[in-house]
Amino acid sequence: MSINETMYAYGAAKSSIREIAAYGARRKAEIGEQNVFDFSIGNPSVPAPPQVRAAIEQAAALPPVELHSYTPANGLPFVRSAVADSLVRRFGPNAANADDLYLTCGAAASLSITFHALCVPGDEVIVISPYFPEYRVWIECAGAKCVEVLADQKTFQVDVEAVGEAITSRTKAVVINSPNNPVGAIYTRECLEALATVLRDREQELGTTIYLVSDEPYREITYGAKVPWVPAIYDRTIVCYSYSKSLSLPGERIGWVLVPPTNPDHDELICAIAGSGRVLGFVCAPALFQRVIAACVDVPADVAAYAENRQALTDGLGRLGYTYIEPDGAFYLWVKSLEPDANAFCERARELELLPVASDGFGCPGWVRVSYCVSHDTIVNSMAAWAKLAESYA
Ligand code: PLP
């Protein structure tokens, strides 16, 4: 082959989540939407808030040349100011300035850009398993090795001691995701403070620099627990954010990378983020949606429907005897497979038209992820199939 075999392999391997979602779509066409219980993909089921529609209409009234023009590579200055001002209102005066932000095509681009900005071949990046499977792709394509460290298997908080042990002289970054996909855990302040202490201690012992990459697309999808502002706990933090979940805009590809002004390597990092965005072609995030988010920075996420689904799903599966981790945020339930092989469990579930995702792809065997960003009816009507599935193991 005369093409890049690594890229070919990524294209051929496909994302297991997307494959199940594609199967679900085919199956719905065959037997009817109401007969398939598709819990595969994290596509928000709550409509974007009305302020989004109003902002689109307002932007659409601009002269077309102005509306559709290129913006600066890092985004329109007034949009970055609006985002920074909102972060300052929420997290304090040191949270962000307009020039600390680089607007991107969602968290996928934010993370890709960040890993390319930080890593050279041979570096290592630690992820906390279970983790969003695309992390491995983005880390490896940035030339680094993806090192998995299992979360505490009871609380699914970061196993700080295990992270400390996994850090080597090649460790460039640790990635955290809170609220977490796939588990729904929100890392407590104590957990993050303990992690920060370990990172600082290991930096000092090894004479290296370790960054904390905080992937936060679910920051606003919470059910009561607080999500600490990570840069206030560890100064070498880079925040990756997206409006895909909070404003239900996954198809519009809009988010940002923040290098907080308190990061000691701020100037070099901002420059490397810009360089990385340039190299990867992630320049000038979608101009219409830059304008939309400027108008919607303080619009709260509507979590009422997710909260109801979460209640119905945990009540229902709990009654049937399933073991799960109580989710504090995001819209995923982490359920123990009823046999050690989660893939075999998912195959049996599929026969009953239930489509969860096996945990193996998340780097943690023996569980399944159930996305509850679906209609409430899907949850309620799926219970008979979950019951049959449990009975089949009795
Ligand atoms: N990070 C996590 C943890 C996610 O769950 C997702 C998407 O589901 C992403 C990043 C990518 O988000 P985006 O759609 O904004 O690229």
* 34 band by pLDDT with thresholds 50, 70 and 90: very high
Give tens-digit pLDDT for 233-277.
999 999 999 999 999 999 999 999 999 999 999 999 999 999 999
Residue-level pLDDT at 157 = 98
Residue with tokens 């198809």: 251
Q: Which helix (H) or strand (E) holds 31?
A: helix 16-31
Q: Is residue 39 a contact partner of residue 17, using CB atoms and an 8 Å limit?
A: no
217, 279: one domain = yes
**What is the 159 CA–ligand 1 centroid distance (Å)?**
23
Mean pLDDT value across residues 275-298 = 98
Mean pLDDT value across residues 69-82 = 98
pLDDT surpasses 80 at 319: yes
Please, what is the end-to-end C-alpha distance for the chain in angstroms? 51
Residue-level pLDDT at 281 = 97
Indicate which atom in ligand 1 lies nearest the CA of residue 105.
16
DSSP tag of 252: G
* 15 band by pLDDT with thresholds 50, 70 and 90: confident
Mean pLDDT value across residues 192-219 = 98
97, 130: one domain = yes
Amino acid at 30: E
Residue-level pLDDT at 86 = 98
Strand 211-215, strand 171-177: pairing: parallel
Kindly state if the Cβ of 108 falls inside 6 Å of ligand 1.
Answer: yes
Kindly state if the Cβ of 217 falls inside 6 Å of ligand 1.
Answer: yes
32, 77: one domain = no
Strand 124-129, strand 145-150: pairing: parallel
**What is the 160 CA–ligand 1 centroid distance (Å)?**
24
* 308 band by pLDDT with thresholds 50, 70 and 90: very high
pLDDT surpasses 80 at 50: yes
pLDDT surpasses 90 at 13: no
* Domain-terminating residue out of 296, 324, 345: 296
pLDDT surpasses 80 at 14: no
Question: Where are any strands of DSSP class E within the chain?
Answer: 37-38, 101-104, 124-129, 145-150, 171-177, 211-215, 237-242, 255-258, 324-325, 332-336, 354-355, 357-358, 367-371
Residue-level pLDDT at 93 = 97
Q: What is the mean pLDDT of the chain?
A: 97
- The separation between CA 157 and the C-alpha centre of its own chain, rounded to angstroms, equals 16
82, 218: one domain = yes
What tokens were used for 215?
A: 């992937």
* Collapsed DSSP state (helix, strand, coil) of residue 240: strand
Report the domain count for the chain. Answer: 2
| Proportion of the chain above pLDDT 70, given as a percent | 100
Measured between alpha carbons, how far is 177 from 234 in angstroms, rounded to an integer?
A: 15
* Collapsed DSSP state (helix, strand, coil) of residue 196: helix
* Domain-terminating residue out of 277, 296, 315: 296
Instruction: Give the domain range for residue 240.
Output: 51-296
* Collapsed DSSP state (helix, strand, coil) of residue 183: coil
Kindly state if the Cβ of 132 falls inside 6 Å of ligand 1.
Answer: yes
The contacts found for 82-85 with CB under 8 angstroms, 24 or more apart, are 82/293, 82/294, 82/295, 82/297, 83/256, 83/293, 83/294, 83/297, 85/297
Biggest CA pair distance of the chain: 66
85, 202: one domain = yes
Residue among 45, 103, 134 whose CB has most ligand 1 atoms within 8 A, to mutate: 134
183, 38: one domain = no
184, 174: one domain = yes
Q: Is residue 343 a contact partner of residue 358, using CB atoms and an 8 Å limit?
A: yes
284, 321: one domain = no
73, 20: one domain = no
pLDDT surpasses 90 at 186: yes
* Domain-terminating residue out of 280, 296, 312: 296
What tokens were used for 295?
A: 């108008």
**What is the 319 CA–ligand 1 centroid distance (Å)?**
31
**What is the 109 CA–ligand 1 centroid distance (Å)?**
9
* Collapsed DSSP state (helix, strand, coil) of residue 181: coil
- The separation between CA 360 and the C-alpha centre of its own chain, rounded to angstroms, equals 17
Kindly state if the Cβ of 179 falls inside 6 Å of ligand 1.
Answer: no
pLDDT surpasses 90 at 16: no
283, 314: one domain = no
Closest by alpha carbon to 366, among 135, 129, 133? 129
Question: Where are any strands of DSSP class E within 108-144?
Answer: 124-129
We report the CATH number of the domain holding residue 148 as 3.40.640.10
Measured between alpha carbons, how far is 116 from 216 in angstroms, rounded to an integer?
A: 18
Mean pLDDT value across residues 37-53 = 96
Give tens-digit pLDDT for 90-123.
999 999 999 999 999 999 999 999 999 999 999 9
Mean pLDDT value across residues 157-166 = 98
268, 359: one domain = no
We report the CATH number of the domain holding residue 43 as 3.90.1150.10
Kindly state if the Cβ of 133 falls inside 6 Å of ligand 1.
Answer: no
Residue-level pLDDT at 135 = 97
**What is the 136 CA–ligand 1 centroid distance (Å)?**
13
240, 321: one domain = no
Kindly state if the Cβ of 222 falls inside 6 Å of ligand 1.
Answer: no
